[in-house]
Amino acid sequence: VHINSYFHANPNQSYTSDFLHFQGPPTKSMLSSLAAKFSNRASASDPAAVDDDEDSEVAEEPGTDDVCGWWYWGHADSADHPPSSLQLNSMKLSLQTAPLKLSRDPAFYQDFAKYVLCPHYLDRQAEGTAPGTGCPFLGGKAFLRQPDVKKRLEEVPKRLAAGEIERKNELGYLLLSPATFPLTGSIGLGNDLETHRKQRRCIEDVLSPSKLPNRQGWQEEAALFLAECQKKRKFKVRSSVTKWWFQMLFKHVLGDALSTSDAADFTKFQMAWLQGAVLSGPNAFVEKFANFGSVTEAVWPVSKIIQAQEQWRHRIKKKLPASVPEVDRDVAAQGILEMFVFAGGLSVPLTIHCALAVLYRRDLMPSPVKITEANVDVFVYEVMRLFPAVQGFCYWEKGERQVLSLNAALRDPGVWGPDAAKFTLKDLDLYKQHFVGFANGASTSDGSFDSKACPGMQMSLDVVQGFVLATCRWQPTTTRAHVYWAPKQVPKPQGVHKKWFADFELMIQDWLDGDQTGEALLEELQPVELARLLQEIGQADNQESKLAALLGPSKDRDNASRLGACNLNTKVFYELSRKRFKELSARSASLKPDVSKPGPASRYFDLHFAGGSPVIRLPVQDSMKKMVRDSIAAKIGDVLKDKIDDNLDPMMFVDNHLHRCAAIMLCQEAFAKSEGEKPPPHSNARSDSYLPKPHATFKDITTDESQVAIARCGMGQLYLKSNTYDHLKDFGEFVCDMSVLGSFKVRPAFERLGATAVFKGETNGSWKLTAIDWKHGDKVVKPGESEWEHAKWVWRCSLITHMTAVHHLVQAHWLVANALSATWRETMRPFHPVRRLLQVITYNTTSINHNSALSLFPNGGMLHRMSPYPYEELQKVFTAAAEGWKFRTWPEEYASVDLPESVKSKLPIYQDGLEVYEVMHEFVKSYIDLYYPDDDSVTSCPDLNAYWKFPCVPQYARSLPPLSKKALIDQLTRGMFDVTGYHEFVGYVVAYTTDPAGACLQVRPGRNMCDLQELLAVNSLVAGTGTPMPMFVPSGEPGDEDWLHQLDLTSDGGFPASKFETVSKHYENMMSKLKQISKTVEQRNAPGAGRDMPCVAMDPLTFERSVSL
């Protein structure tokens, strides 16, 4: 065994490498001894401790398959160690070498093992250990230090010209077979000086930077390529870029248009020539069995390689510059062909592949990623430094191979610093001064064409930089502005060194359309960062990620159902929110008039409130399926009862801006669905998500300006009033008062809710947020104070909690909608005019109210878990909501609001809502007038008298005036308004919930964003409102047909046809006026029209026909 050891020392460390060259086949014991020796040496600091024994006698019988152990190397001062066992007789090696052992050329088998299989196999054997630092050196004397490598590179042209050294038929470290280079017997790098000069002259001419695109030009070419890839929505990086690059080489270097199919053929030819140049031994075997078709298709015989060379060389020859003499054109064309196959045609796609892999791996390049024109050059240099396409430069001196390790020089800590093995962007001047990846030093400037440096260095830099810039930018389409590429899986290292990457697939992401709050923040990130976040959410093997642990892996986003870090009821509720989804067309059958006989339901779900409030009874549909489901729900409820654990794994908390962005993406990912039916045009439902579409979004919901918009155009409108608080009077004249929740106790993990925001009116009509009375902190917080952001967070959470639990769930669903739906079923004949009208606006209400009670009302239920309250306190919230409800017409509600007329008349829920209410009132009055001409006809109707008692909802009945025609019209109008426009308003919270900094139902001390479990739970509740529903102003889509026919009582009800004709006219009049109101609302929501943000909750075109969601 011959051991060459090279040392260099600096004040910080020693740097030692050993290169072993076995002069004969080694034995297993020898290899084991050497492996142990290397392991021991790895901890040695004294170079003198190395045994430089040059001749070791070995008596043991050589092994037969031990060829893989002939070459090995390692860095003694690094953390990289050789494998503890070489496992030479593995089945894998035997299978790999079996075809070659059948060859009639045993010398080739040895060469193959020596130069190709051995290092590759050793790489594989070392998997699971610390990464290595480069390809094995194959004999001779090796130089690793950057100064040594650079110095010898600079000497190469002069010494070659003087005949002191020679280059052979080599590619990097690999010796090539001369049989595949019939024209000159060698690759151009190893040709004689005269032949090399002819080829170099032509190559430098066609690669002149003045004749090629600059970085901007290559970026534009890359953008066109990526745009073409969008048509298939995905592409394999290495393979697709290789074909594209060949098209670019032929186009810009030769002025030749290479078709897509030709590029694919050239790619096959490249791989075949590469394999043949390195693995040419079994040629006779391949020739003999060439008729095996696909079995041998990937391995070309030498004759086929030579034939293809001649064809491509002939094509290139025709495109050479006219200045190339005819006598030199074959040689020159061969040089360009070899450049396409072995040089730039190989290295540029490889470098692009590695550059994109680095972009999508946070372990190599930390987040956030922002690659721009200002730093793309150093980024690409760093990629090429750690992932050099050319790893070695070899020449021969006096019969001995001299190996200049470009790879080791590019990792020399003496030049690149102690973090030389890490990916860090360094100063551009450092790269320009010390980078040797292009064999930079081996250049000449004397016009001799003896340079051995890469002639396409500038082109390579420009191309890779341009491609990276194109990838890092948005990929707009005709329908989306913020489209980007993301890997299907995080690029995985290939081989022992964990530096090279297997080919990976990029997929187009076009979901970011700005239609959810928080998405605007994502648009501020670079697309690559979004791709990283998306991968962190969806990776099955990234269990340390908080998002992966929460959502779990999924091949399709629609199957992301494993919620490992969430508690049981969050998991169940999340699954239910998705499984209850039905396309609108599936509901068509249920839209027919119900002609069942009136009477009590066979079963009820009773809501028992605390404090003596009367029981609310929810009818339950009587079917075996419902009974089984209710039984299961009851058993689950028993399991979950009193089992609320508010302790969370720290990974569930959202701690910073990047976590916030990731959580926003998680919300989109978790509720994405496979593309379904297109919902009605003005529906809030989406075909690609279980979450509804918000009417308007916040770019950043946390700003003071956003709080003003929430108060005047959002959910805060219900709580606005004049400021009558003495301790707040100096801050402004208006308050959005959520102090009522400050009196309810919370569980130990949370703060009490409750806060009052104070606003001051400006002379131009705008408002300014001036203070927040924070109940838990028992203090008034002002802008700029340390608790200001927290106070705003508490106020938003208080708003959504009160509106969801009180106005939406208890009052809109369990009181109003239940009173309407349950009572007409119990009291009215099938063809009663009022029953038919009520049936239109109570579609599916029985089912949805029962479902809401099953999941949200119980102890341990979803609302209990996602709220901060002990169950007895949540019961008090329910009671306060039920007892606080009072029947009033919408004009009466407006009159009761304590605000100046100039202020409240501009609030959208009143400005738009009063107009909607008036049109509904006109229709209902006309309808009732048609069937009931006076009070007596109303009060004498037994069905209406029974209906007016509302036995299932005593709280509703007791606040109504005595039955009269006017009272009936007002009650039906307010009912219609409540289950359409008002329900749309109080149920519209998706604009606040998809951003963890938006709003939720809990506040944890010291935190201004909800945790991931709460984010998923709240949006599971919101997703229940995302199913497409029949619209009040119908679109005519399947399942959303005109509902006028349900009011036709001509045949079954025995009424004259003239009545339905009159009803039809009133219906058309109502629809016409509602559509006009919609246009007016659109104008009021236009930018500059005076509203802080659009509010379309009272736009009639957005109304669904009931509170069924």
Length of the chain, please?
A: 1109
Residue 324 vs residues 319, 447, 703: alpha-carbon distances, Å: 11, 16, 68
Rounded-to-integer distance, Cα 73 and Cα 54, Å? 16
Average pLDDT taken over every residue of the chain: 81
Rounded-to-integer distance, Cα 338 and Cα 344, Å? 9
pLDDT of the residue at 412 = 83
Rounded-to-integer distance, Cα 771 and Cα 758, Å? 5
Residue type, 940: S
Residue pLDDT, tens place only, 817-841: 999 999 999 999 999 999 999 999 9
Q: Is the pLDDT of residue 138 over 60?
A: no
pLDDT of the residue at 536 = 65
Place 575 in a pLDDT band, splitting at 50, 70 and 90: confident
11 vs 312, residue with greater confidence: 312
Helix (H) or strand (E) holding 902: helix 901-904
CA dihedral (300, 303, 309, 314) positive or negative: negative
Q: Is the pLDDT of residue 30 over 50?
A: no
pLDDT of the residue at 18 = 34
pLDDT of the residue at 411 = 82
Highest-pLDDT range among 125-134, 388-397, 945-954: 945-954
899 φψ region: left (φ > 0), alpha (ψ -120 to 50), beta (else): beta
Residue pLDDT, tens place only, 55-83: 333 333 322 222 222 222 322 222 333 33
Q: Which residues, other chains included, contact 103 with Cβ-Cβ below 8 Å and sequence gap of 6+?
A: 109, 281, 282, 284, 285
pLDDT of the residue at 634 = 65
pLDDT of the residue at 6 = 26
Rounded-to-integer distance, Cα 386 and Cα 351, Å? 10
Rounded-to-integer distance, Cα 860 and Cα 649, Å? 20
Rounded-to-integer distance, Cα 758 and Cα 733, Å? 8
Contact of 794 with 755, CB cutoff 8 Å: yes
Rounded-to-integer distance, Cα 704 and Cα 788, Å? 10
Q: Is the pLDDT of residue 37 over 60?
A: no
Place 105 in a pLDDT band, splitting at 50, 70 and 90: very low
Distance in angstroms between the alpha carbons of the first and the last residue of the chain: 80
Mean pLDDT, to the nearest integer, of 307-317?
96
Share of the chain above pLDDT 70, in %: 78
Q: Is the pLDDT of residue 108 over 50?
A: no
Rounded-to-integer distance, Cα 54 and Cα 687, Å? 75
Place 969 in a pLDDT band, splitting at 50, 70 and 90: very high
pLDDT of the residue at 779 = 97
Strand partners, 769: 759
Mean pLDDT, to the nearest integer, of 801-825?
96
Place 33 in a pLDDT band, splitting at 50, 70 and 90: very low
pLDDT of the residue at 374 = 95
Residue pLDDT, tens place only, 474-487: 998 877 888 889 88
Strand partners, 718: none
Q: Which residues, other chains included, contact 188 with Cβ-Cβ below 8 Å and sequence gap of 6+?
A: 195, 196, 199, 334, 335, 338, 339
Q: Is the pLDDT of residue 238 over 70?
A: yes
Give the number of C-alpha atoms closer than 13 A to the C-alpha of residue 1045, restricted to the C-beta side. Answer: 8
Q: Is the pLDDT of residue 930 over 70?
A: yes
Nearest of 406, 394, 453 to residue 157 by alpha carbon = 453
Residue pLDDT, tens place only, 884-902: 999 999 999 999 999 999 9
Highest-pLDDT range among 309-313, 516-520, 664-668: 309-313
Parallel, antiparallel, or unpaired for β 170-171 and 720-722? unpaired
- How far does Cα 970 stand from its chain's mean position? 50
Contact of 1046 with 1058, CB cutoff 8 Å: no
Q: Which residues, other chains included, contact 327 with Cβ-Cβ below 8 Å and sequence gap of 6+?
A: none
pLDDT of the residue at 438 = 93
Nearest of 793, 807, 945 to residue 880 by alpha carbon = 807
> Helix 329-342 vs helix 193-206: angle between axes, to the nearest 10 degrees?
70
DSSP code, position 689: B
Mean pLDDT, to the nearest integer, of 978-992?
94
Residue whose pair of structure tokens reads 């990623």 in the numeric block: 369
Cis peptide before 26 (omega within 30 of 0): no
Residue 290 vs residues 108, 268, 273, 293, 299: alpha-carbon distances, Å: 20, 16, 16, 7, 9
Mean pLDDT, to the nearest integer, of 993-1006?
96
User: Could you write out the DSSP letters of every residue in 728-780?
Assistant: GTTT-SEEEEEGGGGGS---TTS----EEEEEEE-TTS-EEEEEEEETTTTEE
Strand partners, 21: 2, 71
CA dihedral (161, 165, 167, 172) positive or negative: negative
Give the number of C-alpha atoms closer than 13 A to the C-alpha of residue 693, restricted to the C-beta side. Answer: 20
Residue 608 vs residues 605, 636, 745, 858: alpha-carbon distances, Å: 10, 19, 20, 10
Place 47 in a pLDDT band, splitting at 50, 70 and 90: very low
Strand partners, 722: 734
Nearest of 932, 998, 921, 1004 to residue 965 by alpha carbon = 932
pLDDT of the residue at 491 = 84
Tokens of 65: 């398959």
> Helix 1012-1023 vs helix 657-670: angle between axes, to the nearest 10 degrees?
30
Residue pLDDT, tens place only, 345-382: 999 999 999 999 999 988 788 877 889 999 999 999 99
Residue whose pair of structure tokens reads 């420009």 in the numeric block: 462
Q: What residue spans of 320-446 are helical by DSSP H?
A: 329-342, 344-359, 376-386, 406-409, 413-416, 428-434
pLDDT of the residue at 715 = 96
Rounded-to-integer distance, Cα 272 and Cα 177, Å? 13
Parallel, antiparallel, or unpaired for β 400-405 and 141-143? parallel
Q: Is the pLDDT of residue 14 over 60?
A: no
3-state helix, strand, coil in the chain (%, to 5): 50, 10, 40
Residue pLDDT, tens place only, 1046-1100: 999 998 888 999 999 999 999 999 999 999 999 999 999 999 999 999 999 999 9
Three state DSSP letters for 533-591: HHHHHHCCCCCCCHHHHHHCCCCCHHHCCCCCCCCHHHHHHHHHHHHCCCCHHHHHHHH
